[in-house]
Amino acid sequence: MPADADTPYDVVVLGGGSGGYACALRAAELGLRVALVEKGKLGGTCLHMGCIPTKALLHAAEVADSAREGSRFGVKTTFESVDMSGVHAYKDGVVARLYKGLQGLVGSWAIDVVEGAGRLVAPETVEVDGRRLTGRHVVLATGSYARTLPGLEIGGRIMTSDQALSLDHVPPRVVVLGGGVIGVEFASVFRSFGSEVTIVEALPRLVAAEDEAVSKQLERAFRKRAIAFRTGVGFESAAQAGDTVSVRLAGGDTLDADLLLVAVGRGPVTAGLGFEEAGVTVERGYVPTDERLRTNVDGVYAVGDIVPGLQLAHRGFAQGIFAAEDIAGLAPTPIDEQGIPRVTYCDPEIASVGLTEAQARRRHGDVETTEYNLGGNGKSQILQTQGFVKLVRAKGGPVVGVHMIGARMGEQAGEAQLIVNWDAFPGDVASLVHAHPTQNEALGEAHLALAGKPLHAHS
């Protein structure tokens, strides 16, 4: 315990995931006295059960596909099998290295890391195992958990991403319940590993939060990959017997599988943590904040997945940094939620920033769009991938949405977010030179087209 243990901290952060640890690090950088309470492992969902392990699985999946497809490139390769213990050794090694790095990073700053489950016992006080930590400010960052549906109990062959991450075998038949980000990423991995996969989605299309054109292209690509999907169909029940889980759909169809992956979204971790008793408003489990991430209680902030909005690690980082700077009196500019890039790492990858065409029509009325096909992009042809870059602009105005799909297109999110967040006009981007041959050129070409001077595009 530090020598000045009786004086209050400047900031007590409850939860050491992306939002919480980013806040603690920035606050410490700014010279604030910080306590960071974590009941599990620093790094939270993203590092241990989310972004990093899933992307390692997706990379292993890509390697499996490359082994299968060598002959397309004139390279003689044979795909033998997927050794799940080897996959886990690789994945866990990546996580372990990053975890060690994060522990070292947090340790290098004067942050008191308090291990244990914390509870908000007063607006300025978090209690951990009987120890009271008082702060001039408290930042709530307790994250999220994998939801299920009423009556659908997790166990045995019915699992969420939490259990699916450490499966010791490749299940021959998988039903994925939910065609959102986590669902399509796991579907992609399972298919590349050799499973037969069927996605069941109640909404009319896969990745329904994306622009409709992106959903259509993904569905086309998944059909080619023999990933089956049933959209616009509700789930009714699931029953396990012997080696099989039978999934009954609304309308009466039944799908038999070896595994049912439930990927129906994530709920906030706020129950039983004393938030409401301390006066903090909780709505449907989430903690609403103003644009400065302040809750309704003076001195109490909330960041990350417990705050309604996009549940993404980089949003958590940005919110954590913002809260620390606000507490330090730096008056940071509020984060524009609409400008946060979104990447879905299935094959093909999806990356988007800003408004979909439908959202832009609702907001701006008249809009212009263009779709630049990756068929005209040299690097995409070298990679043998299909897809497009779609731009949406308010008529005569700046680009308000960029939507991309194709292998590796997630890497293009960087320029896309500069374009949308800096209110670039098509002509501004068209005047920038994009390196050849890169997939990044496709972004440049889409802007050339929207600026009325297309290069590799048919008239």
Ligand X SMILES: Cc1cc2nc3c(=O)[nH]c(=O)nc-3n(C[C@H](O)[C@H](O)[C@H](O)COP(=O)(O)OP(=O)(O)OC[C@H]3O[C@@H](n4cnc5c(N)ncnc54)[C@H](O)[C@@H]3O)c2cc1C
Tokens 């098509």 found at? 426
Q: Which of 64, 138, 139, 141 binds ligand X (CB under 6 A)?
A: 141
Tokens 């549940």 found at? 311
Nearer of residues 14 and 238 to ligand X, judged by Cβ: 14
45 binding ligand X? (CB under 6 A): yes
Residues whose CB is less than 8 angstroms from the CB of residue 45 and which lie 6 or more positions away in sequence, other chains included = 17, 18, 143, 144, 305
44 binding ligand X? (CB under 6 A): yes
Q: Nearest approach, Cβ of 71 to ligand X (angstroms)?
A: 31
The token pair that represents 373 in the structure block: 């096909």
Q: Which of 125, 148, 161, 417 binds ligand X (CB under 6 A)?
A: 161
- Whole-angstrom distance, CA of residue 391 vs CA of residue 449: 10
Contact 302, 293 (CB under 8 A): yes
- Report which residue type is found at 375: G
* Total number of residues shown for the chain: 459
Least Cα distance to 186 among 20, 8, 344 occurs for 344
The residue from 436, 447, 456, 458 that is catalytic is: 436
Q: Nearest approach, Cβ of 277 to ligand X (angstroms)?
A: 14
The gap between the terminal CA atoms of the chain, to the nearest Å, is 71
Nearer of residues 70 and 265 to ligand X, judged by Cβ: 265
Q: Nearest approach, Cβ of 344 to ligand X (angstroms)?
A: 8
38 binding ligand X? (CB under 6 A): yes
- DSSP type of residue 8: P
Contact pattern from residue 304 through residue 323 relative to ligand X, giving x for each residue in contact according to CB under 6 A and a dash for the rest: xx-----xxxx-x-------
Contact 286, 23 (CB under 8 A): no
The footprint of ligand X on residues 389-448 (CB under 6 A) is none
Contact 194, 340 (CB under 8 A): no
Q: Nearest approach, Cβ of 117 to ligand X (angstroms)?
A: 4
Q: Check if 436 is active-site.
A: yes
19 binding ligand X? (CB under 6 A): yes
Which range, of 57-65, 141-149, 203-211, 390-398, touches ligand X by CB under 6 A?
141-149
18 binding ligand X? (CB under 6 A): yes
H or E element at residue 449: helix 440-450
- Report which residue type is found at 237: S
Contact 261, 159 (CB under 8 A): yes
125 binding ligand X? (CB under 6 A): no
Contact 193, 58 (CB under 8 A): no
The footprint of ligand X on this chain (CB under 6 A) covers a number of residues equal to 37
- Report which residue type is found at 46: C
Angle, CA 166 vertex, CA 163 and CA 172 arms, to 5°: 85
370 binding ligand X? (CB under 6 A): no
Which range, of 39-47, 169-177, 201-209, 280-288, touches ligand X by CB under 6 A?
39-47
Q: Nearest approach, Cβ of 91 to ligand X (angstroms)?
A: 12
Nearer of residues 116 and 427 to ligand X, judged by Cβ: 116
Contact 399, 419 (CB under 8 A): yes
Q: Which of 142, 148, 370, 373 binds ligand X (CB under 6 A)?
A: 142
188 binding ligand X? (CB under 6 A): no
The footprint of ligand X on residues 48-87 (CB under 6 A) is 49-51, 54-55
The token pair that represents 209 in the structure block: 């939060």
Which range, of 25-33, 41-49, 102-110, 151-159, touches ligand X by CB under 6 A?
41-49
24 binding ligand X? (CB under 6 A): no
> What strands, in cross-sheet order, belong to the sheet with 367-373?
342-344, 349-354, 399-406, 388-394, 367-373
Question: What are the catalytic residues?
Answer: 436
What is the contact surface with ligand X in residues (CB under 6 A)?
Answer: 14-20, 37-40, 44-46, 49-51, 54-55, 117-118, 141-144, 161, 182, 269, 273, 304-305, 311-314, 316, 345
